[in-house]
Amino acid sequence: MDSAFVIEKFILVAVIFGISLVIAMYSTYAERKVAAYLQDRLGPDRAGPFGILQPLADGIKMFMKEEIIPTSSNRFLFIAGPGLALLCACIGTAVIPWGSPVLIAGKTIPLQVSDINVGVLYIFGVVSLGVYGVMIGGWASNNKYSLLSAIRAASQNISYEIAMGLSIIALLLMTNTLSLKEIVGQQHGLNWNVWYQPLGFLIFMVCSFAETNRAPFDLPECETELIGGYHTEYSSMKLGFYLFAEYINMFVSSAVMAALYWGGYNYPGMDYVAAHLGPTWAPLIGTAVFFGKIVMFIFFFMWVRWTIPRFRYDQLMNLGWKGLIPLAIANIIITGVVIAIIEKF
């Protein structure tokens, strides 16, 4: 491992980390703007032109607020909770292929931090770790509402992870690989997986809504029943970490959905662009397209949040166990049968 490799990866990690933080930051702004426009309002427009400095103001506010740690809480876990939530949200970006390799200064640099051959499993592992931040925080607060919320989050995540995993198996039957880079590479041009796996994508998307604790599955933080949910006792930047982790999770799951089902950095006419712009700029355009898809998904997340009311707890469980899991299994069977027939003839 030479030093150039380390430096290259270090820069890539720093850039991706920075981008995901900035996107999460502006997601908070976008969320409020989208909410406002969907409700015929204007949203924040005081800080800077069109309110674009609002996330900065919010960040300063979060840092300046008084830090309260309840005396009856478990101090170590109380502090570890939000950190873990943010950490688990961030490390998911490591295996996502942001673009095809770029030629910079005579060197081909892959726009992916690490192409591990079990990328999909890694994503799943990280996503299921994400619930620990919520659980630890909720438990350590020593508050009934927080604990209830943590239990809800845990049971919800476990239920929906199964359906999510099953939905992805149908996709893996088609792609024959667990490496995200290869899965994206197979979707050249407009040959996106979503055309072959519409049901799988639907199940996957519903499950990612549940995994990120977003509306309509935001039961862990429903104010009407649980005050603030698992972050009831949190204040200052610890609260900020939890809120931030949710937006980073949203960004990562948007990226995963775009990469697995919507072709990642592939777009129609990419060969033409690659032939005309050369190996430096064409991949970067692919990356821009990928980010465009991610932004679309983030908008979709918000759009859904401001449309659909929250599920009741039993409805949530019914949908997960009696709706999505049988559907996902049926999807696997259909996919398997179709693949067998195609291979036979």
Partner 1 sequence: MESLSNKKKVLEQKPLSFMERMYLPAIAKGMGITISHLFKKEATVRYPEVEREFSTNFRGMHSLKRDENGKERCTACGLCALSCPAEAITMIAAERKPEEKHLYREEKYAATYEINMLRCIFCGLCEEACPKEAIYLDGPIVPADYLRKDFIYGKDKLVEAPLEMKK
Note the residues at the interface with partner 1 (CB under 8 A).
36-42, 45, 303-304, 306-308, 319
CB of 31 to partner 1, least distance (A): 14
Of 26 and 300, which CB lies nearer to partner 1 in the complex structure?
Answer: 300
Tokens of 159: 């239920």
Tokens of 239: 């609260």
Cα 237 from chain centroid?
Answer: 21
Alpha helices, H only, 222-312: 223-226, 236-260, 270-305
CB of 330 to partner 1, least distance (A): 14
Tokens of 39: 């409700």
Tokens of 34: 């989208």
Of 144 and 322, which CB lies nearer to partner 1 in the complex structure?
Answer: 322
Residue 101 host element (H or E): strand 99-104
Contact 265, 185 (CB under 8 A): no
- For every residue of 102-161, DSSP letters joined together read EEETTEEEEESS---TTHHHHHHHHHHHHHHHHHHHHHHTT-HHHHHHHHHHHHHHHHHH
Give the contacts of 9 (CB within 8 A, at least 6 positions apart).
113
Residue 329 host element (H or E): helix 325-344
Of 15 and 308, which CB lies nearer to partner 1 in the complex structure?
Answer: 308
CB of 316 to partner 1, least distance (A): 12
Secondary structure (3-state) at 188: coil
Of 242 and 261, which CB lies nearer to partner 1 in the complex structure?
Answer: 261
CB of 35 to partner 1, least distance (A): 10
In angstroms, rounded to a whole number, what is the distance separating the alpha carbons of residues 122 and 106? Answer: 32
Of 13 and 38, which CB lies nearer to partner 1 in the complex structure?
Answer: 38
- DSSP 3-state helix, strand, coil percentages of the chain (rounded to 5)? 75, 5, 25
Of 30 and 86, which CB lies nearer to partner 1 in the complex structure?
Answer: 30
CB of 39 to partner 1, least distance (A): 7
CB of 70 to partner 1, least distance (A): 34
CB of 162 to partner 1, least distance (A): 19
Of 174 and 317, which CB lies nearer to partner 1 in the complex structure?
Answer: 317
CB of 199 to partner 1, least distance (A): 11
Of 22 and 308, which CB lies nearer to partner 1 in the complex structure?
Answer: 308
What are the backbone dihedrals phi and psi of residue 223, each rounded to the nearest 5 degrees, phi first? -65, -35
In angstroms, rounded to a whole number, what is the distance separating the alpha carbons of residues 112 and 97? Answer: 5
